[in-house]
A and B are shown apart, each in its own frame.
Chain A
Amino acid sequence: MAELDEEGSANVSIDVTPDQDEIVVTVGGELDISTAGVLEEAIFFDGRHDARRMVFDLSDVDFMDSSGIAVLLRAAAPTGWVEIRRPSTVVRLVVEATGLADVLRISE
């Protein structure tokens, strides 16, 4: 479990919970160009990114832009897709509009 709140990332909260066969990443706030780096650091820099599937809980995300999507897409690399659990409407619309439903798979 890690709580990251660095400078320049006041608008985002990130919580990474490694589980038996999946890693649950809970994100809240705004996932944009200024905060995407923090999420990327949380996922990739701590050596957590292994063969386990990544699950993103984006129920509290208020805004997401292409920089945020780019981080999610990179997290999908090992298996070709990641699970987006309980996406907020904002996230759902962005995923659908960009034709990414097959890579960023939405689950309730």
Chain B
Amino acid sequence: MRGPSITVPSRRRSNVRAVDDGSEPVPKETARQPKRRRRPVHRTTLVVAAIGLVLTAALSYATASARSTNEDRLLRQRTREAAAVLTAAVPGVQTPLASALQAVELSGDQQAFARLLAPIVKKGTPYVSASLWRADGSDLTPLEVVGPTPQLASRSPEFIRSYLQKSVATTKLSVVGLLDGDAPRLGYAITTTIAPIQYVAYAEAALPPNRTSVVPKTSAFTGLHNAVYLGDTEDTRSLLTASTPHVPLRGRRASEHVDFGDTSLLLVMTPDGHLGGTLLYILPLLVIAFGLMTTLGSATLTEWLLRRRAHAEHLSDENARLYAAQRSVAETLQQSLLPSRAANVPGVVIDFRYVPGVAGLDIGGDWYDAIPLDEGRLMVIVGDVSGRGLGAGTVMASLRYAVRAFASQGDTPTVILHKLNALLDVHDDGHFATVLCAVIDIASHSVTFANAGHPNPLLIEGEHALVIETEVGLPIGVRRDAEYAPITRGVAAGATLLMFTDGLFERRTESVDVGLERLRQSASGSRRSLADTLSEIIDVQTPGGGDDDTAVVGVQWQS
């Protein structure tokens, strides 16, 4: 037994530790080690990862598609802008030639042609050579030449005729065609219609060497490759100019037609780089990277949570198992401290019941005993040590065996209680005990009781149960000078004596009076066997197990 002040709190703490600390490290060590080696990934994790990958793929595809659409839209827009620039440039080509021809037409002065066009030709743009021809039926001869001799003049008369004939048929600026050679030229022609003499004004524009031109940084063509063809088709032979030697242009492309005299120009453009900017270009890649990271993260998190849960479940199972094991230890210990079967005493039937409290993990302090004495007498004892746990169990065991020793020496109930009182002190041991001690004279149907603070016994005679009022003295271990007085009473033939601990009638939710009266009622009634009576009382009083431990001893006279 332990010293006074420390006993209860320290025991209380150790109880807590037994459940919390004691249970946790054990499963940690035994369970984790073998499991961690080859635990397959949970199916849920794989599903999460798959969903993540699908979402990532879908999102990056959508982003790439949106980017592509955007690039197309931007390219079309830029191509339209470039076409507008080209369109705006057409009059610059047409007007000087048309003006010069008109001057000749109105004045009849062929010199006017040279005067007007000389400064333009000298500059080299838009023409490098201009000439005035007279169309007399099928005969075509140059009247005036400004600048170097047109390349056209070096061709055969048939070629010249068919070449210029195109312009005679129309009043528009006639683009008569490309002249190949060391320095390729593009020829235009305009024909008068109202004058009696039909003049043809002809000019040649120089095409850039290799037909490749450098695009000015600030123009509408910036960031784009372009190719301009004469006519409607993308024919390399009719290429006028391109910003790159690699024609025809490949990849993402857009085209526009621009009216140019009696024909048209075909503008083809392709982006040099990314029109929408670099960020838009790498956005799908960013989406993929982000999606993969998110997928990896969520799959890892899922797996972690699943494993945490599995571990927690395992711990919970382990705790339940430990709880059951501890409870089973307590019950085993309790059973070993209590009589396993009733003594066989002629003239009476003896039986007992013990019901552990539902909340209790610990051994309880309730006990009972039936000790045959000489001369047809029987001692019956019921006791209850305060508190629970090993301390209470130890006190209970020592009191029980002390009673057996005192009984064998022939001590009366009163003496036994006095002697027990000397063995226990609540101030030193932390426990006290209530004890009801009875000596039964079987043949003479009389019982002598001594009571140390214990609930009074119940006597069933015929169909009636009644409480036997005893002299209730101080519980064992409260005070050295405690006094106990015996009380003797006779019982009827076939009577049943019940001695029990307070667990049989005490409930937290009701007054003990109510519980005691219910006990009396359930004990009353038609005569039954002792075993049936005890079972019925236990069922009524502690349905599903009581709050506290319950011990009952019954003695039934057979006659």
Contacts and interface: CB of A to CB of B under 8 A. Distances in A.
Kindly state the interface size class of chain A when it binds its partner: 20 to 34
Contacts of B356: none
A89 B512 CA distance: 10
A97 B508 contact: no
Contacts of A70: 8, 386-387, 426, 430-432
Interface in B364-386: 365, 384-386
Given A33-B387, A67-B386, A99-B475, A73 B432 contact: yes
Nearest to B454: A98
B512 A97 contact: yes
A98 B451 CA distance: 9
Contacts of A71: 8
A45 to B, nearest CB: 7
Nearest to A80: B479
B5 interface: yes
Interface in B451-465: 451-455
Contacts of B384: 66
Contacts of A33: 387-388
B427 interface: yes
A74 B427 contact: yes
A100 B8 contact: no
Interface string A84-108: 0000011001100111101100000
B60 interface: no
Given A30-B508, A90-B511, A93-B513, A100 B426 contact: no
B478 interface: yes
Nearest to A93: B512
A47 B479 CA distance: 24
B233 to A, nearest CB: 92
Contacts of B11: 37
B224 to A, nearest CB: 77
Contact of A37 (B12, B431, B454): B12
Nearest to A62: B508
B9 A97 contact: no
A102 B473 CA distance: 10
A64 B472 CA distance: 19
A103 B474 contact: yes
A66 B512 contact: no
Contact of B427 (A36, A77, A93): A77
B214 interface: no
A78 B437 CA distance: 30
B16 interface: yes
Contacts of B502: 97
Contact of A98 (B4, B8, B430, B472): B472
Contacts of A97: 453, 455, 472, 502, 512
A41 B430 CA distance: 13
Contact of B386 (A30, A45, A69): A69
Contacts of B434: 66, 98
A65 interface: yes
B548 interface: yes
A99 B386 contact: no
B508 A63 contact: yes
Contacts of B452: 99
Interface in B397-435: 426-427, 430-432, 434
A70 B7 CA distance: 12
A100 B453 contact: yes
Contacts of B388: 33, 67
Interface in B297-356: none
Interface in B430-487: 430-432, 434, 451-455, 472-475, 478-479
24 contacts: A7-B16, A34-B12, A40-B5, A40-B8, A40-B9, A44-B5, A63-B508, A66-B434, A67-B387, A70-B386, A73-B426, A73-B432, A73-B478, A74-B4, A74-B430, A80-B479, A93-B511, A97-B512, A99-B472, A99-B473, A100-B478, A103-B474, A103-B478, A103-B479
Interface of B: 4-5, 8-9, 11-12, 16, 365, 384-388, 426-427, 430-432, 434, 451-455, 472-475, 478-479, 502, 506, 508, 511-513, 548
Given A66-B384, A98-B475, 15 more contacts: A7-B16, A34-B12, A36-B8, A41-B9, A66-B386, A70-B387, A74-B4, A74-B427, A90-B512, A94-B512, A97-B453, A99-B473, A100-B453, A100-B475, A103-B479
